[in-house]
Chains A and B, each alone.
Chain A
Amino acid sequence: MIQPYVEPQARTIDRSRTNAATLEVEGLSVLFQGLAAISDVSLTVNRHEVFGLIGPNGAGKTTLVNCLTGFQRPTSGRILLGGDDTSGWPAARFRERGVARTFQAGRLFKDMSVSENVEVTGTGLGLGLRSAREHARALLDWVGLSDKAQLPAGALAYTDQRRLGIARSLVLSPAFILLDEPAAGMSDAECEDLNELVAAIPQLFTCGVLLIEHNMRVVMGISHRIHVLDGGKTIAEGTPEEIQRHEAVLAAYLGMDA
C-alpha cells in the first residue's frame, strides 16, 4: 500500500519558478556526427498525467530525456517549459525550474548514506540542512526506504536504488519528473509495487511523469497517454488502448508483421 506523502512544513523555497503546466517538445532533432538520433519529434507532457514514452532499443528515448534535462543540446527544434524557451539552459537550471529525472544507471552517490543522497538535492535547491533532512525523511518514508536511511546507497538492492533515485528526484515537488526505465530488471511483483508508486506521483506531488519503459505491463497499466518512437521518429501517440491496436506500433515495437 502506498503511504500518504505529507510535505514537511519546514521552510521551502519559492514555488513560483516551478509552476510550469506543460513541457513541450517542438520539432526536435538531434544529430550525432551526422546520424539522426532523433528527427522532428514533437510532444507535450501535461502536469497531471503519466506520459509513457516507448520504442525499441536505439529509438532515441534516452537522448530525448537528455535533451529535456539539459544533458544534451538539440541540433534543432525547441523545448518549452511552461511556454519559456529553454535553449541554452544548463542541466542545473532545468532542475531548479522543476524538471527532475532519474538515470538508467542510477547515478547515486554510493559512498553517501541513503538519506544524504536526498539531502544533497534539498540543499542544492536552496534548503537549509535541517529542512533538507525533513524533506528527505518524508520522501524516504513514502518510497519505503526509511528503515535503510543510514545505509550507504551503494549497499542497497537494485530495486531499492531505483526507489532512492525516484525519492531524490521528487525533492521539493518538481513540475515534471522523467523516469528512465525505472522497472528495468525488476520482477513482476516488484513492478507492481513500482507501478503503484509511479501512478500516485501526479496526484500526490502535482507533478507530471514522463515514463520511459520497456516493460509493457508497467507502461500500459499506468500511462494516460503513450508516445511511440522508432529510429528517432514518432510513429504513434495515443491512449494505451489505441497504442495496443496501432498497426505501425505492433510492427515496429513488438516485431509483428502488420
Chain B
Amino acid sequence: MIQFIQNLIDAVALGSIYALVALGVGLLFGILRLINFAHGDYITIGAYALIVPSADVTARLLIGDWPWPVLIPTICLIVVIAALLTDAAVFRPLRRATSPTLMIASFAVSYIIQNGVLMAYGSRPKSVDLWSGANSQVFIGDLRVPMLQLITLAVTLVLMVAVTLFLRRTSYGIQMRAAAEDFRMAQYLGVRGNVVIGIAFALSGILAGVVSLLYTTQSGSLSHVMGVPLALFAFVAVVVGGMGSLVGAVVGGFVIGITVTMLQAYLPPDLRAFRDAFAFAFVILVLLVRPAGIIPSRSTFERV
C-alpha cells in the first residue's frame, strides 16, 4: 500500500509537469489553432538561460545563481520574450494560414531554436546544480516524499488557479475565451486579435519558464533536445483531453503522466523497456472510446 501511494505521488508529480506543458500548448491551440511543437523548445531556452553560454561540459551558473525571487521572474521573462519573438517573426505573418501550415512552421521554429542552442552551448549534455536542496526527502508517516514533488504539485495548483482566474475574472481573459470560440466574431465585437494572441503566447511562455525550472531541478542536466519529449507528451495530452478544451489539456496531462509512471512501476521488468508503447496503446484506446477527447470542446467541433 505504502509502495502504491509512493508511486501515485510520483505519478501525480510527473502528471502535473505534463499538465503545465499541455496547458501552455492548449492556450495557443484554443486561439490560433496552432499546435506549437516549439513549446518544448521554449522550455529548453528557459533551462539554458540559467548558465553561462559556452561549449564546456561543466556548466557555470549565471542567472541560476541568483536568489529565487529574482531568478524565477527573470527566467519567465526571457521565455516570454522568446515566445513573443517567435510569434512576431513566424506566426504573425501566417495569421491566415491553415492549421497544418502553422504546425509545420512550429516544427521549423523548434529546429531553429535547437540549433541555436547547439551553436551557443555545444552538443554535449551538461550537468547543472540548480536548487539541489529541493531534492531532499520529507517523511510523511512511512512515506518518503521528495520535497521537489511537493513543490511541483503546489506550483502547478497555484498556476492553474491563476490561469483560471485570469480567464474568468479579467477583461482580457474573457476576450481570450471569446476569441478561442469564434475568432472572427470576437474581432467584430472589438476584441483586438493580435493583443489576445500576444497574451496567449506570453502566458504559454510563463508556463514554459516555470516548467524549465522544475524540470532542470529534478533532472540536473541540460540538453538541446530536452524539450522535445515534453512537447510530444503535451501534444498527446491535449489530444487525449480534447482539442480546444483547457480543462481537457490539464486532465490529459495528468492522465499521461500517471499512466507512464504506473506502467514503469507495475509492468513486468522485461516489458518496461516498451513502457511508452504501452502508454500510447492506452492513448489509442481512450481515443477509440472518446474520439473527441475526454472533455471535448463544444466550439472546435461545431465549427468544422
Chain A contacts with B in 86-102, Cβ cutoff 8 A? 90-92, 95-96
Chain B contacts with A in 272-297, Cβ cutoff 8 A? 297
Interface-forming stretch among B20-28, B54-62, B65-73, B184-192?
B184-192
A120 at the interface (CB under 8 A from B): yes
| Structural contact, A109 and B182, CB atoms closer than 8 A | yes
Partner of A132, one of B171, B191, B297, B302: B171
Chain A contacts with B in 117-176, Cβ cutoff 8 A? 117, 119-121, 123-126, 128-129, 132, 154, 168
Chain A contacts with B in 18-70, Cβ cutoff 8 A? 69-70
| Structural contact, A112 and B174, CB atoms closer than 8 A | yes
| Structural contact, B298 and A121, CB atoms closer than 8 A | no
- Distance of A36 from chain B, by nearest CB (Å): 26
Residues of A within 8 Å of B186, CB to CB, are 109, 120, 124
- Distance of B219 from chain A, by nearest CB (Å): 37
A116 at the interface (CB under 8 A from B): yes
| Structural contact, B181 and A111, CB atoms closer than 8 A | yes
- Distance of B226 from chain A, by nearest CB (Å): 35
B114 at the interface (CB under 8 A from A): no
How does the 8 Å CB contact mask read for B171-202 relative to A, with 1 for contact and 0 for none?
Answer: 10011011001101111111100000000000
A246 at the interface (CB under 8 A from B): no
Minimal Cβ-Cβ distance residue in B for A103: B185
Minimal Cβ-Cβ distance residue in A for B169: A129
Partner of A109, one of B177, B184, B188: B177
Partner of B189, one of A110, A111, A124: A124
- Give the number of chain A interface residues (Cβ < 8 Å): 27
- Distance of B233 from chain A, by nearest CB (Å): 26
A11 at the interface (CB under 8 A from B): no
Partner of B190, one of A110, A112, A125: A125
Given contacts A123-B171, A129-B171, A154-B298, contact A109 B187 (CB under 8 A): no
| Structural contact, B298 and A123, CB atoms closer than 8 A | no
A17 at the interface (CB under 8 A from B): no
Interchain CA distance A141-B274 in the complex, whole Å: 60
Residues of B within 8 Å of A123, CB to CB, are 171, 174-175, 190-191
Partner of B187, one of A69, A92, A112, A128: A92
Residues of B within 8 Å of A117, CB to CB, are 178
B170 at the interface (CB under 8 A from A): yes
Interchain CA distance A112-B181 in the complex, whole Å: 9
| Structural contact, B181 and A126, CB atoms closer than 8 A | no
- Distance of A69 from chain B, by nearest CB (Å): 8
Interchain CA distance A168-B190 in the complex, whole Å: 12
- Distance of B250 from chain A, by nearest CB (Å): 16
Interchain CA distance A166-B177 in the complex, whole Å: 21
Residues of B within 8 Å of A71, CB to CB, are 188
Residue among B171, B189, B190, B299 having the largest count of chain A Cβ atoms under 10 Å: B189
| Structural contact, A96 and B190, CB atoms closer than 8 A | yes
Minimal Cβ-Cβ distance residue in B for A130: B171
Given contacts A123-B174, A124-B175, A128-B171, contact A110 B187 (CB under 8 A): no
Partner of B177, one of A111, A125, A126, A129: A111
A107 at the interface (CB under 8 A from B): yes
Interchain CA distance A39-B36 in the complex, whole Å: 46
| Structural contact, A92 and B175, CB atoms closer than 8 A | no
Given contacts A111-B177, A128-B171, contact A120 B189 (CB under 8 A): yes
| Structural contact, B182 and A120, CB atoms closer than 8 A | no
Partner of A112, one of B170, B171, B178, B297: B178
| Structural contact, A120 and B174, CB atoms closer than 8 A | yes
Interchain CA distance A92-B195 in the complex, whole Å: 14
Interchain CA distance A82-B102 in the complex, whole Å: 41
Residues of A within 8 Å of B182, CB to CB, are 107, 109
Minimal Cβ-Cβ distance residue in A for B187: A92
Interchain CA distance A115-B46 in the complex, whole Å: 39
Given contacts A110-B298, A110-B299, A111-B298, contact A124 B191 (CB under 8 A): yes
26 contacts between A and B (CB under 8 A): A90-B187, A91-B187, A92-B187, A92-B188, A92-B190, A109-B177, A109-B178, A110-B181, A111-B177, A111-B299, A112-B174, A116-B174, A119-B174, A120-B174, A120-B178, A121-B189, A123-B174, A123-B191, A125-B189, A125-B190, A126-B190, A128-B171, A129-B169, A129-B174, A132-B171, A168-B189
3 nearest A-B residue pairs (beta carbon): A124-B190, A123-B171, A129-B171
- What residues of chain B have their CB less than 8 Å away from a CB belonging to chain A? 169-171, 174-175, 177-178, 181-182, 184-191, 297-299, 302
- Starting from the known contacts A92-B189, A120-B178, 6 additional A-B residue pairs (CB-CB under 8 Å) come to A70-B188, A109-B185, A111-B177, A123-B175, A124-B189, A132-B171
